Structure 1
Amino acid sequence: MNTPSTPPGPGAAPVRIGALVPLTRPGWAEAGRHLLAGLELAAREADEAGGIGGRPVGLVVRDTAADPARAEAAVDELAGLGVAALAGEYHSVVARAAAARAEAAGLPFLCSSAVLDALTDRPADRVARLAPAQSHGWRIYADFLLAAGHTRVAVAAEPSLYWASGSRLLRERFAARGGAVAELDLRALGPEALCDALAADGATALLLLAGYPEPIVPLVRAVRRDRRLAGVLIGAPAGQPEFAGWAAALGGDGAAVPFLRYLPARFGPLGARVAAALRERLGEEPSFVAYEGYDTVAVLAEVLRAHGTDRARAAAAWPDVTVEGTRGTIRFSRASGVSVWQWAWAPVQVADRDPAAPGRFRVLRAG
């Protein structure tokens, strides 16, 4: 952020930024709460640094509830309200719908957390993203498993574009290194039947590509209690164990479940300061999603300060961005196979909760 200067005057009209956040079910509301905390903190600090051309930042928040149609309607509404840009969203399929709508409306959209490589069907000029593409993060996760000796894994998956994309990436990575991935369909298998299928398959790791808390929580409990599966590693690459709700629901059963998170080995001064402020705001340890939210508004505020609030000019600025974020210097480029302007890349960690102290995280691999 800029050096603090005179905050905007009370009569200044706000520069409005639309914020898409899952705040109610079936959206992952816990992730949405962290995302919103980061967005709001960065907006407050932008105002303390003088706002945007002397005008305050006005976040206009809409709850997507993990519903693509609801997100599309929110983008249309926000565009009609005259927002200068769009921020946020956690769920990949929802962000994909929002990105297509924003591109069609000529509305700059900085996506905070969604990871689908094909966030739009064709190359988009108005859309940029902070989170690493799924192919980048999930290949790091696959390499972690292979290095640990897991050459045959099983994925328990629900039907969705996001989970199907993850399964495909894992199959390709394992096949390229002589491994194999078996697929177990959660539409047909309850917890007990899943355990039977896993025991018969002989896979040494089970990756849960499914919703949280249902059906993941009962699946983890069932596998932990099945003696046949005592040596099977449970993994959750989408990041569910990052959140306090996971530990509250599963206790010790939720430890030693590797997942992906997008944090550096250690924070610099900005990240450390923001971490303290987010911790106070949330009343708990901030997740990587909270930092994604903060960095989103930090980038948009700098873009709008430098290029003005005209949507076309702001959207054209993606390749010129250089902003110090909480997790490194943010610049956007065209990454291979990715349809939007991409920060390549945010830091990636494979981490888990320590069985000796489930409130503590262990970093198992970084990339």
Structure 2
Amino acid sequence: MNTPPSPSGSGHRDTSPVRLGALVPLTRPGWVEAGRHLLAGLELAAGEVNDAGGIDGRPLELLVRDTAADPERAAAAVDELAGLGVAAVVGEYHSVVARAAAARADALGVPFLCSSAVLDALTEERTDWVARLAPAQSRGWRIYADFLLAAGRDRIAVVTQPSVYWATGTRILREHVAPRGGTVLELDANALTPEALCDALVAHDASALLLLVGSPEPAVPFVRAVRDDRRLAELLIGAPAGQPEFAGWAASLGEDCAGIPFLRYLPERLGPLGDRVAKELRERLGEAPSFVAFEGWDTVTVLAAAVRSHGTDRAAVAESWSRIAVEGTRGPIRFSRAPGLGVWQWTWAPIQVVDRDPSEHDRFRVLHAG
């Protein structure tokens, strides 16, 4: 249901809420910590829109649905939210879940602005209904591969679980490093104990191990085993998907949490807007906000601008992607058609490779920027 504009001269002012559906992983097996940060950003931005008078006097209402990292649950939520008259759907962190939501939104004709998922093939076919803020996986993981090669880490082992996201990441890495003399060895996380993983890394003389697995299990026991194995003292452990970004990583691993590079979608320095939002997110979360929280804030800010300029008609919102120009927490946001992607894409969010400082675990070191 879309709310039509009031007839000119009718004297009636529409004060009904402008509804946005929000998809967030809030329970396991979803990445709950990421979901909490994403929701904090979404809610902070919605509150700021309402504090400033809403959208033409209409309050912005978030209808939050927990995906629990379940693609079918996300698709069902899009159905439900469409029936509740949302102008658009936003959010989601997990790539496979976001892909299911995008497919359903496309089928129903509901605009979907994806906050955090990076899988290149977010939709099977080109669509005007879906846009994305997070950079495509192929871009970020190639930057990560460049970092590894520049550091002399060209014998790369990946320990991975079955997932289109992990499989795609492995393929991106292999295709990028092979022409430069690098190799990628794939190891099955479900078939290896932590001790057997260490033996395999020694046997293959790996110079880097990338954790393409869930956290805390099995990532935490794998890290502990590698750190405790003197044969692997020079091995670099990496986690490109960003597990070490969150406080739970440090709490689970203690001293072993540091020195594990990951991808983060932040500039080296935030501007005044980013600094202000960071402060408010920190107060809301009780800890330093991750890049995922900034993605949430930017998402609602973009949709509020689209609805303010083009109304709540879903087709009008979808048609606005190419005309949006919004100042986000991490820089100016505009959408375009990037080669090889079927959705409207912010090209691009800033990308860093960072790790936790071994001497100060709450501090992040920027190792490489793309």
TM-score by length of structure 1 reads 0.96
What is the rounded CA distance, in whole Å, between the counterparts of 1:303 and 1:177 in structure 2? Answer: 43
CA offsets, 1:325-345, max 9 Å, x none? 000000000001111100010
Tell me if 1:99 matches 2:102.
Answer: yes
SS state of the match for residue 49, structure 2? helix
- Which of these residues, 193, 202, 218, is aligned with residue 215 of structure 1? 218
What is the rounded CA distance, in whole Å, between the counterparts of 2:153 and 2:220 in structure 1? Answer: 23
SS state of the match for residue 252, structure 1? helix
What is the rounded CA distance, in whole Å, between the counterparts of 2:193 and 2:103 in structure 1? Answer: 36
Q: Give the equivalent residue in structure 1 for 2:342.
A: 339
Q: Give the equivalent residue in structure 2 for 1:323.
A: 326
- The Cα shift of 1:49 comes to 1.9
Question: Once structures 1 and 2 are overlaid, which stretch shifts more, 253-262 or 183-192?
Answer: 183-192
- The Cα shift of 1:71 comes to 0.3
- The Cα shift of 1:268 comes to 0.9
Match of 1:171, as an amino acid?
R
What is the rounded CA distance, in whole Å, between the counterparts of 1:156 and 1:55 in structure 2? Answer: 50
What is the rounded CA distance, in whole Å, between the counterparts of 1:83 and 1:192 in structure 2? Answer: 50
- The Cα shift of 1:12 comes to 2.9
Q: Mapping of 1:1-367 within 5 angstroms?
A: 12-367=15-370
Instruction: State the identity as a percent.
Output: 74
SS state of the match for residue 58, structure 2? coil
SS state of the match for residue 190, structure 2? coil
What is the rounded CA distance, in whole Å, between the counterparts of 1:336 and 1:235 in structure 2? Answer: 28
Match of 2:315, as an amino acid?
A
What is the rounded CA distance, in whole Å, between the counterparts of 2:127 and 2:214 in structure 1? Answer: 29
Question: Once structures 1 and 2 are overlaid, which stretch shifts more, 345-354 or 45-54?
Answer: 45-54
CA offsets, 1:164-216, max 9 Å, x none? 00000000011121111111111211211111111101010000000111110
What is the rounded CA distance, in whole Å, between the counterparts of 2:224 and 2:342 in structure 1? Answer: 39
Match of 1:117, as an amino acid?
D
Match of 2:282, as an amino acid?
R
CA offsets, 1:304-341, max 9 Å, x none? 00000000011011000100000000000000111110
What is the rounded CA distance, in whole Å, between the counterparts of 1:276 and 1:12 in structure 2? Answer: 31
Instruction: Provide the aligned C-alpha RMSD in A.
Output: 0.8
SS state of the match for residue 191, structure 2? coil
- The Cα shift of 1:64 comes to 0.1
Structure 2: 5+ residue runs without aligned partners? 1-13
Match of 2:317, as an amino acid?
A
- The Cα shift of 1:229 comes to 0.7
SS state of the match for residue 162, structure 2? coil
Match of 2:343, as an amino acid?
V
Q: Give the equivalent residue in structure 2 for 1:6.
A: none
- The Cα shift of 1:263 comes to 0.3
SS state of the match for residue 62, structure 2? strand
Match of 1:125, as an amino acid?
D
Q: Which runs of 4+ in 1 moved over 3 A?
A: none
What is the rounded CA distance, in whole Å, between the counterparts of 1:161 and 1:34 in structure 2? Answer: 24
- The Cα shift of 1:151 comes to 1.2
CA offsets, 1:113-166, max 9 Å, x none? 000001000111100000000000000000000000011110001010000000
Match of 2:168, as an amino acid?
S
Q: Give the equivalent residue in structure 2 for 1:7.
A: none
- The Cα shift of 1:39 comes to 0.1
Aligned residues: 357
TM-score by length of structure 2 reads 0.96
SS state of the match for residue 87, structure 1? strand
Match of 1:284, as an amino acid?
E
- The Cα shift of 1:295 comes to 0.1
- The Cα shift of 1:254 comes to 1.0
